[in-house]
Amino acid sequence: MKKSFDFSAEAIVEVAKADAILALAEDVGAGDLTAGLIDPARSARAQVLARESAVICGSAWVEATILQLDPQARLTWHVRDGERCAANQVVLEIQGRAQALLTAERTALNFLQLLSAVASKTAGYVAAVQGTRAQIVDTRKTLPGLRLAQKYAVRTGGGTNHRIGLYDAVLIKENHIAAAGGIAQVLARAAAVAAQADFVQIEVEDLAELQQALNAGARMVLLDNMTLDQLREAVRINEGRASLEISGGVTQESLRSLAETGVDRISIGGLTKDVKAIDFSMRFHEL
């Protein structure tokens, strides 16, 4: 049974290579007609500038994209993944074949602008709950084909990954409960597959359902769209028996108040699905 992705440096490099190959195939097709106007023997150097402050993320994807087209290219990072850059700061310098750098430019920046945006947004949420016990957690609301990349970016921003997919953990939601015949019944069935999963979590919509879940032995509970008063009461009822997670309607403005209720985790789909790209540009100079 496949478990969660390990996010080792080696594994990230392999994921980045696979993503870069697909992205370049989508963009380049049979060949870059415009870059073909440039002498293949000409070399160039380029700088990547951040036009705004951000937490940098995606270096493996940038490198995989460029090295796929020019394996001899040299990349020098001035800001590493997880570090914050300032507006108008040079974050990367590249030296290589001009044609390859021109062809790689947009794909490399697409990866960098998306993943840095996810990391930056996550870092902002993490800072907002500092001093509480709450962890900021992502969801499966990711761009198709880029889930591992975006979940890596959440980690880079200081957040925590929820399950990677349907294969590595159990999350029992309203429709699962209805189909199984009730909270106690579905948790009993979940016990049979618990050894194959990283965790078993059940979603509840009110305090009565929370009590049912706790009575049935739940160890991870997702509190869906509850008010602050309900959340505080949920923490009191729970008495530390299960890990409590908030889901639904979380905003930057409400985040601190939610964290101060005493819950353990706050999951936010917007970390990966509602992101505004960070503005980067690449400037070329002939050698």
- Which residues are catalytic, by number? 106, 141, 173, 203, 224
Question: Quick one: tokens of 215?
Answer: 């009575």
Taking Cα atoms as reference points, which of 214, 216, 210 lies closest to residue 191?
A: 216
Query: Distance (Å, rounded) from C-alpha 145 to C-alpha 16?
Result: 11
- Which helix (H) or strand (E) element contains residue 257? helix 255-259
Residue type, 196: Q
CB atoms within 10 A of CB 219: 15
At which residue do the structure tokens 């990866």 appear?
Answer: 111
**DSSP code for 38:** S
Identify the CA nearest to 166 among candidates 206, 204, 205, 193: 193
Bridge partner residues of 283 (DSSP)? 47
